[in-house]
């Protein structure tokens, strides 16, 4: 202990429950969904000169979270989590992925479903990424809001990581963007 403090003055450790650790695993860069390969259009925005620095990158990711894939994916996570007919939710999610760039959701969803099925010893059903997440979270009895928050934090981290390579940004700028957008991810998920 520091001078003048006793062992009993130390902060109490906060328990980390299985839900947080499961979600941290699902949305970590090591989980095989290929998130590093999908920039949600950021590569085009950089090439077009629309995103050239940290401030523009943060604005761009903020827009994706609030008005693009982040918002839509949260709706599909919640819908599939609550659905009695997940296949119908998945069909709707596929309809919303109208451009070739958004069809990456099929590949990511199939990879996510396969990885979760392998961990659980079950059979995977290919779904779009957010639908696969919602379905898996319900099956694992994970809290919906926490799942959505962690999903969006993972998306933010993935996009910031892509921006670090594409813009390019330094590690400090990338981490600052993730920190600054964490409340946005929480608000959108809620």
Structure tokens at 152: 């969006």
Helix (H, G, I), strand (E, B) or coil at 138: helix
At residue 7 the predicted structure's pLDDT band, cuts being 50, 70 and 90, is low
Structure tokens at 68: 């693009």
DSSP-derived secondary structure letter, 12:
P
Residue 110 has pLDDT above 80, yes or no: yes
Average pLDDT over the chain reads 89
Tell me the CA distances in angstroms from 102 to 96, 109, 121, 128, 179, one per residue in order.
8, 12, 29, 10, 26
Tell me the CA distances in angstroms from 62 to 73, 116, 159, one per residue in order.
14, 29, 10
Cα 18 to Cα 7: distance, rounded to the nearest angstrom: 28
Cα 33 to Cα 29: distance, rounded to the nearest angstrom: 8
The percentage of the chain sitting over the pLDDT mark of 90, rounded to a whole number, equals 75
Cα 45 to Cα 121: distance, rounded to the nearest angstrom: 41
Helix (H, G, I), strand (E, B) or coil at 73: helix
pLDDT digit string (tens) for 78-97?
Answer: 999 999 999 999 999 999 88
pLDDT at 10: 54
Look at the pTM and tell me if it is higher than 0.85: yes
In this prediction, residues 60-73 reach a mean pLDDT of 95
pLDDT digit string (tens) for 125-178?
Answer: 999 999 999 999 999 999 999 999 999 999 999 999 999 999 999 999 999 999
């Amino acid at each position: 202990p520091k001078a003048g403090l006793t062992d009993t003055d130390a902060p109490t450790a906060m328990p980390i429950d299985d839900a947080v650790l499961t979600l941290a695993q699902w949305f970590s860069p090591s989980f095989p969904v290929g998130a590093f390969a999908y920039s949600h259009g950021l590569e085009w925005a950089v090439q077009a000169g629309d995103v050239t620095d940290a401030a523009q990158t943060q604005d761009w990711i903020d827009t994706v979270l609030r008005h693009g894939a982040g918002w839509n994916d949260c709706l599909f996570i919640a819908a599939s989590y609550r659905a009695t007919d997940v296949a119908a939710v998945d069909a709707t999610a596929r309809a919303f992925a109208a451009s070739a760039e958004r069809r990456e959701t099929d590949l990511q969803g199939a990879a996510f479903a396969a990885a979760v099925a392998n961990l659980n010893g079950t059979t995977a059903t290919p779904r779009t990424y957010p639908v696969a997440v919602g379905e898996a979270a319900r099956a694992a009895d994970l809290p919906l809001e926490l799942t959505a928050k962690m999903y969006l934090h993972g998306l933010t981290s993935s996009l910031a990581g892509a921006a670090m390579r594409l813009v390019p940004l330094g590690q400090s700028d990338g981490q600052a963007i993730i920190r600054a957008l964490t409340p946005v991810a929480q608000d959108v998920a809620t």
